[in-house]
Chains A and B, each alone.
Chain A
Amino acid sequence: GDSVTQMEGPVTLSEEAFLTINCTYTATGYPSLFWYVQYPGEGLQLLLKATKADDKGSNKGFEATYRKETTSFHLEKGSVQVSDSAVYFCALNERQAGTALIFGKGTTLSVSS
């Protein structure tokens, strides 16, 4: 079945450092791909998405490109801030699956000043 694998955390960075969180997927069809973020004590928030190969999703300085050839959707940010500290989830959604998202296990990011 479909699955999402993302790098284990925690990831600890200093403010203004470059961030990469790796995500790869396995899917039978042509899924949409997402990054969600969860701040402590809160639900998930959509960070960005891409719906087809070579699409780039971007939001708040974060970017990810849908790479079908490597089945990847790595999250990047050029300069992280303390306020970016959170848990990041990569997810996919097959088109016929309604709102059923398949999530990776999550990567905890901690940014210090």
Chain B
Amino acid sequence: KAGVTQTPRYLIKTRGQQVTLSCSPISGHRSVSWYQQTPGQGLQFLFEYFSETQRNKGNFPGRFSGRQFSNSRSEMNVSTLELGDSALYLCASSWDGTTNEKLFFGSGTQLSVL
């Protein structure tokens, strides 16, 4: 069974640009959640999608958005990039959208904003 796949693995952008990151969950999983990991703030929850609907959202500005498609694949978008958006972005999938079942994390997309 393939794991959670995130693309691209690395990304370099400049301030003011926008970026789209992709996450393909494990087959059959309906929930995808996104996290930002930085040395200063650690791991912070961005949002979660379940069956194409956003169910939970963390404390991030509106520049951060996401969506989920009917095949459960998810994308997150960051508009008007700032230097502080440089981070490792992780997505995680689960079957039922709870932590009763295991969350499976991808290896992440390392975003550098110059």
Contact = CB atoms under 8 A, between A and B. Distances in A.
B42 A44 contact: no
A32 B90 contact: no
Interface residues of A, number: 23
B102 A99 contact: no
Given A99-B94, A100-B33, A100-B48, A46 B102 contact: yes
- Interface band, chain B: 20 to 34
Interface in B58-108: 58, 90, 92, 94, 97-100, 102-103, 105-108
Interface string A15-52: 00000000000000000101000000111111001010
A99 B90 contact: no
Given A43-B106, A93-B99, A99 B42 contact: no
A45 B97 CA distance: 17
Given A43-B90, A104-B42, A98 B33 contact: yes
Contact of A43 (B98, B102, B108): B108
Interface in B29-43: 31, 33, 35, 42-43
A66 interface: no
Nearest to B3: A43
B107 A41 contact: yes
Q: Chain B CB within 10 Å — which of A34, A91, A98, A105 has the most?
A: A98
Contact of B98 (A42, A91, A99): A99
A97 B56 contact: yes
B55 interface: yes
A98 B58 contact: no
A82 interface: no
A49 B94 CA distance: 16
* 10 A-B pairs closest in CB distance: A43-B105, A103-B43, A99-B33, A44-B105, A105-B42, A100-B45, A93-B99, A98-B56, A43-B107, A100-B56
